[in-house]
Structure 1
Amino acid sequence: MLFTPKRARRSAAPFRGKTVNPRVGPPNEKRTKQGENMNIMVRGIDPAAVKKIDELAKKQNISRNQFLASLINNYAALEEFKSYQSQYETVIKQCLQVIQQNSHIEERLLRYLESEDNEDTQKSVL
Structure 2
Amino acid sequence: MEIRIREVDPIAVKKIDEIAKRKGLSRQKFLKDQIEMLAFFQQQNKREMELENIIQKNIHMMNDCYSEMKKMNEFIQLMMQDDENE
- TM-score, scaled to structure 2: 0.91
1:48 matched to 2:11:
yes
> Offset of 1:54 from its aligned partner?
1.2
Q: Distance in 2 between matches of 1:41 and 1:90?
A: 39
Aligned match of 2:83: 120
Q: Distance in 2 between matches of 1:114 and 1:61?
A: 69
Aligned match of 2:68: 105
- Is there any run of 5+ residues in structure 1 with no aligned partner, and where? 1-37
Aligned match of 1:61: 24
> Offset of 1:40 from its aligned partner?
1.5
Q: Distance in 2 between matches of 1:76 and 1:119?
A: 66
Q: Give SS of 1:40's match.
A: coil
Paired-residue identity, %: 27
- TM-score, scaled to structure 1: 0.64
Identify the structure with bigger relative contact order (alpha carbons < 8 Å, sequence gap 6+): 2
Runs (4+) of structure 1 moved beyond 4 Å? none
Aligned match of 1:81: 44
Q: Distance in 2 between matches of 1:59 and 1:49?
A: 15
Structure having the larger proportion of residues in helix: 2
Aligned length: 86
Aligned ranges 1:14-25 → 2 under 5 Å: none
1:27-54 deviations in Å (ceiling 9; x for gaps): xxxxxxxxxxx22111221011111111
Q: Give SS of 2:7's match.
A: coil
Please give the root-mean-square deviation of Cα atoms over the aligned residues, in Å: 1.1
> Offset of 1:89 from its aligned partner?
0.6
